[in-house]
Structure 1
Amino acid sequence: MKELLTFPKDFWWGSAWSAEQAEGRGDTGKAKTVWEHWFETEPNRFYEGVGSEITTDHFNRYKEDVQWMKKTGQNSFRISISWARMFPNDGVGEVNQKAIAFYRDLLTEMNENGIKPFANLYHFDMPVALQDAGGWESRAVVDAYVHFADTCFKEFGDLVYHWFTFNEPLGPILGGYLEDFHYPNQIDFKRGAQAGFNTILAHALAIKAFKKLNLSSKIGVILNLSPTYPRSQNEYDLEAAEICDAFYTRSFLDPMVKGTFPEKLVEIMREYDQMPEYTEEDLTIIKENTAQILGLNYYEPRRVKARLTAINEKSPFLPDWFFEPHNMPGKRMNIYRGWEIYERGIYDLCIDIRDNYGNIESFISENGMGVANEERFLNEEGQIQDDYRIQFVKDHLAYVHQAIAEGCDIKGYHLWTFIDCWSWINAYKNRYGLVSLDVETGKRTMKKSGEFYKKMSDMNGFEYETSKLVGTKREENN
C-alpha cells in the first residue's frame, strides 16, 4: 500500500554542481586550474578528449539557468565559487572585480527568484600555480585559501544562505596521492596525509575567519560518506571494516565535525610512520572551529573483508594493506558508473550522524544516478524518459524520510545534478541532470525527472510503497 511521504516544512529541494564543471572560462580572466593544466598535458586521460573550456556555459547563461531551477522546483541550489576566477593571478594577489560582479549578479538572481544560494568554496579546482607550489601540502597555500575564503565571506555574505569550506575533501587526497585520478598524480600516502591534515586546518581557519563577521548564515563542510559494511560478523571482517571506515569515513568527518581525529587511524599512521607534521596550535584551531552544518554526499556503500593475501612490503603504503573489497553476491549495480545501488545506506548514514556526531544539522548534499547514452530514452516529443532516475530518487528519499521520522536532523535533499554537466575525467560519458544538455548547441531540455522533481517539490513529498523500507524501525513496527 502506498503512503504519501511528506517532508518537514521549508525542506530544501535543490541540486548542486561546481564552478569547474558548469561555468566555462567566461571573460573575467581566470587562473589556469589543475584540470585545465592536466587536460593540456594529458588529454588522453579525459573521456573523448573533452576538457572544461565550455562545459554547461553557465557563466553566459546563468539567468536562463535560474529560470530552469524554478521550472524544476528548486528552492535552493549549491554553487561553488572559483578560486581561480576570484584571484586570476595564480590564486593570489588582488581580487578580480569582474568575478565579484559575476557572482553577485548570479547570487542576486537566485535570491530574487526564491532560490536559496548555498556557496561552496573549494570543489577540486585549485589554481595550478598553487598546486605546483605544493598544493595542500603547503602552509602558504592554506594561507592563500583562507584569504580567498575571507574575501568571499565579505563580498557575498549578504547574499549567501549557507557556506561550505570544501566539497569532498577526501577526493583530491585519494585521487592525487593514492589512486591516480587527480592531478598531481602521486602515489605517496605520507604526502597525502600532510595534504589532508592541511585541508582540515584550512577548513578550521576559514570557519575561524567566518565567525568574526557575525553573518546570519552558517558554515559547514560537504563530505562524501559511505557506510562501511563487513562481509560477515567474523572478527577479522569486523576489524577490516573498522580500519576501512577510519581511513575513508572518519578521517575527515571526525576532525571537521568533532574537532578530533579517530584513534584507530592515528594509531596505524604512527605505527607505519605516515604521520603529517603539525603543531599543538594547529590541533587547538581544529578543535575550536568545527562545522555548524554538514552536507552528506551519498552514492554507494562500501563493502570490505579481511585480506586473503599478504602485502608486498616493497609496495607503497596504502589503506588496502588492511582490507580488500567484498564483491557481495546479488548486489544491484549502476552498470554505467560501476557503483552499487543500495538505498538503505543513506538511512544508515543519517542514523550514524544522529548517534555519533551530535545530530548536527545536516542535509543530503549529493545523491544521483549517472547513465550513459540517455538519448536512447527519447520519446516522440524529444524528452528523455528517465524513469530510472525518478525511481532512484524516490527510493533514497523514502529512507531519508524514515531517518527524519526517527529523529535525524536532515533539512533537505540536493540532487547531483541540475543540468547535465562536465564530469572531470569522465566528461559527458554519464549524464546526471534533471535537464538535458546538448553539448554542441548548449540547448537545455527538460527531462521527465525534471517534471517529477517540480511536482515533488510542490507537494513537499511523494507517494511510495513503504513496505520496501527494510532495516528500519518502520519495518520493526510492522
Structure 2
Amino acid sequence: MRLQRIVGEDRAIRTNIYLRNALLGTAWSSRLEFPPGFQFGAATSSYQIEGGWDADGKGPSIWDRLFHSAANSGYFNQTGDVAADSYHQWRQDVKAAADMGLDFYRFSISWPRILPTGRTNVVSPAGVRYYSQLIDVLLAAGIKPVVTLYHFELPVTIQDLGGWTNPLIVDLFGEYARLVYSLYADRVDTWITINEGIVICDLTYNFGQFAPQIKEPTFAPFLCNKHVMLAHAKAYRIYDEEFRAKCGGKVSIANNLLWVEPVTPDDLELAELGRQHSIGRFSHPIFSKEGGWPPTTEKLMRAVSRREGYSQSRLPAFTDEEKKFVQGTADFFSLNHYTTSMIRPARAGEAPGTWFINGSAELNAVLEHPPGSTYGALDIMPIYPPGFRRLLNWVRQQYGDVEVFVSENGLATSGTNLEDHIRVDYLTRYMEQVLLAMEDGVRVTGYTVWSLIDNFEWFDGYNTKFGLYEVDFEDPARSRRPRLSAHHYACVIKHRRLKYPESCVQERRNGRR
C-alpha cells in the first residue's frame, strides 16, 4: 500500500530514475561522490548567536523587546542577550568553520546592529566594523561568506509602523539592502535577501507566538506574504542595477520547504494544493514562467474568501507591474528543508488548524507525521529522508533546470552529548538524498548544515541543540567543542564522499586534519 501511494503521488516525479533505484531511499547512490565544485557549508543567524543585544549602540529588535517583556514565554525565560556571544567570540566561529574545511559560512546581518533606528539616517560604525572583520577573516581562511540580509530580526521602529504588513517595508528593506551591498558587496558574492517568509508570515501571524506576537490569521499572513515578495524583489533589483556589473555576485531568497505527501491516493490533489499553498506562494511569483500567485492557490483563496463573506480575496492580488517586478528575481533556488508531512482532509468536527505545523484552515486539511518516522529532540520535525529527494525533484518539475542551493538542513538534539550519532545518521541520510536527486537530474550545487554552533533556539532557548559544535553556555568565553557530527562532516568535505576512510574521524579526534 505504501509503495502504491508513493508511485501514484505525482505522475511527473513517478517517472524519475529513483523509482527504479530505491523508493524508500535506502540504497546508496551509485557513486557516493559529490561532483567537482560542489560546495559545503554551515549556517547561523544573528540573533541566535551574536548576543551583544545592546552593545555599541545596537538598536532593539522585535526579539529583544519580546524576550525582555512580561510576555516572554521562552524556555525558563531565557533570552538571546548573550547567546553564543559571537559578537565578541566570532573568531572561534571562523576557527570552527576552518577546522572543518567549510567552503562557505552562511550568516545573517542584524538590521538594527547596522541601523539602530532601522533607517539609514544613523549608521553604526561598530556594527559595520563587526561584519567587515568577520568577512575579511573568513576570506583570509579561504571560506566564502554567504550573507543573509534578514533572518527574523526586524527593528522595533519598523514593527511599530506595522512591520511586514505595511507596504512601506518594501522601500525600507530596499534602503537597508542598498547600504549593506555598498559596504560588503566588493567581498561578498552570494546573498540571501530574506530567510523563510513562511515563518515570518504564516507561522508568526497564524499562531501569534513568534515576535512580534500578533495573532491575526485572516489577512496578516497574506499581506506579509506579498510584501516579503516585493521587498525581496526590491533588494534583488537594486543589486542587479547598481552592483552586479562591478561585483558579479548572485542573489536569492531562502524559503522553508516542507514536503507534503498524501495520506491516501484520494488525497493526491490535496497534497499538490498543499505544496502550492506553502511552497508555491513564496516561490511561484519568482520562478514560474507566468509569475504571480500559483493559480490553484488564487482559486482556493477566492472561493474561501467568498464563502466567508468578503468581496475580495484575502490573498492580495499582484498588479501586472508587480508581477513583472518580482518575476525572475533569483539567480538560484535557495531552500531550507527539515521534514516531511502527510496531508488529508479534516474530518467532520475536526479543527484543521493553521498552515505550517498543524494543517491549513484554508485547505480544511490536517497534517500528520509520516508512518515509521523517527525523531530528534523536536517532535514537530519527523526524520524522513526520502521526502527530501521527492521535494528536490518537485522543484525541478515545477520551475525547470534551476540551480538549487540547500541553504539549511539539520537535526535538533538536547542535552550535553558530543557523541551525536543520531545527527551523523541524519546528515548522512539527507545528503544521500541530495546525491540521488542529482542523479535524477536536479542541479544541486551546495549543501548547508544548520547550524555551525549551538545557538539560542527561540522559545526552546538553549535546551535544543542544532550545532555541529557544542557551545558551553555556562562558560563566560562560550567555548566551542566539535561534536562527532563535526568530524563526520569534515571527513565528507575532505574526501567529497559520504563513505570515507574509517581512520578519518579518529585522526581528527587526535588533532590531525
Give TM-score, length-normalised by structure 2. 0.84
Q: Structure 1: which amino acid aligns with 2:326?
A: I
Candidates 80, 90, 113, aligned match of 1:52: 80
Whole-Å separation in 2 of the counterparts to 1:15 and 1:158 = 22
In the comparison of the two structures, how many residue pairs are matched?
A: 452
The aligned residue for residue 240 of structure 1 is 270
1:121 is aligned to 2:163: no
- How far the C-alpha of 1:335 sits from its partner, in A, is 4.9
Whole-Å separation in 1 of the counterparts to 2:495 and 2:377 = 32
The aligned residue for residue 364 of structure 1 is 406
1:9 is aligned to 2:9: no
1:425 is aligned to 2:465: no
Whole-Å separation in 1 of the counterparts to 2:432 and 2:193 = 29
- How far the C-alpha of 1:351 sits from its partner, in A, is 0.9
The aligned residue for residue 143 of structure 1 is 171
Describe how 1:36-435 pairs up with structure 2 within 5 A.
36-42=64-70, 44-182=72-210, 183-212=212-241, 213-214=243-244, 215-234=247-266, 237-258=267-288, 259-271=291-303, 272=305, 273-276=313-316, 279-287=319-327, 289-310=328-349, 319=361, 321-373=363-415, 375=416, 377=417, 384-435=418-469
Contact 2:271 2:343 in 1 (8 A): yes
Q: Structure 1: which amino acid aligns with 2:342?
A: R
Q: Structure 2: which amino acid aligns with 1:230?
A: P
Q: Structure 1: which amino acid aligns with 2:392?
A: C
- How far the C-alpha of 1:34 sits from its partner, in A, is 0.7
Whole-Å separation in 1 of the counterparts to 2:96 and 2:139 = 14
In structure 2, the residue corresponding to 1:146 is in which secondary structure? helix
Q: Which runs of 4 or more aligned residues in structure 1 lie more than 4 Å from their structure 2 counterparts after TM superposition?
A: 1-4, 310-313, 315-318
Contact 2:376 2:422 in 1 (8 A): no
- How far the C-alpha of 1:311 sits from its partner, in A, is 7.4
Change (3 A) 1:34 1:241: same
Change (3 A) 1:310 1:283: farther
- How far the C-alpha of 1:398 sits from its partner, in A, is 0.8
Gaps of at least 5 residues in structure 1 are 378-383, 465-478
1:462 is aligned to 2:498: yes
1:25 is aligned to 2:71: no
Contact 2:492 2:499 in 1 (8 A): no
Residues 141-166 of structure 1: per-residue CA shift (max 9 Å, x gap) = 22111100111111100111300111
Whole-Å separation in 1 of the counterparts to 2:444 and 2:469 = 26
Identity percentage of aligned residues? 26
- How far the C-alpha of 1:96 sits from its partner, in A, is 2.0
Task: Please provide the CA RMSD for this pair.
Answer: 2.2
Candidates 35, 42, 50, aligned match of 2:63: 35
- How far the C-alpha of 1:323 sits from its partner, in A, is 1.0
- How far the C-alpha of 1:6 sits from its partner, in A, is 1.1
Change (3 A) 1:337 1:306: closer
The aligned residue for residue 474 of structure 1 is none
Bigger shift: 35-44 or 445-454?
35-44
Contact 1:305 1:323 in 2 (8 A): yes
Whole-Å separation in 1 of the counterparts to 2:218 and 2:101 = 43
Give TM-score, length-normalised by structure 1. 0.90
Whole-Å separation in 1 of the counterparts to 2:233 and 2:153 = 19
- How far the C-alpha of 1:277 sits from its partner, in A, is 6.1
Whole-Å separation in 2 of the counterparts to 1:275 and 1:60 = 43
- How far the C-alpha of 1:354 sits from its partner, in A, is 1.8
Whole-Å separation in 2 of the counterparts to 1:254 and 1:232 = 26
- How far the C-alpha of 1:174 sits from its partner, in A, is 1.8
Q: Structure 2: which amino acid aligns with 1:366?
A: E
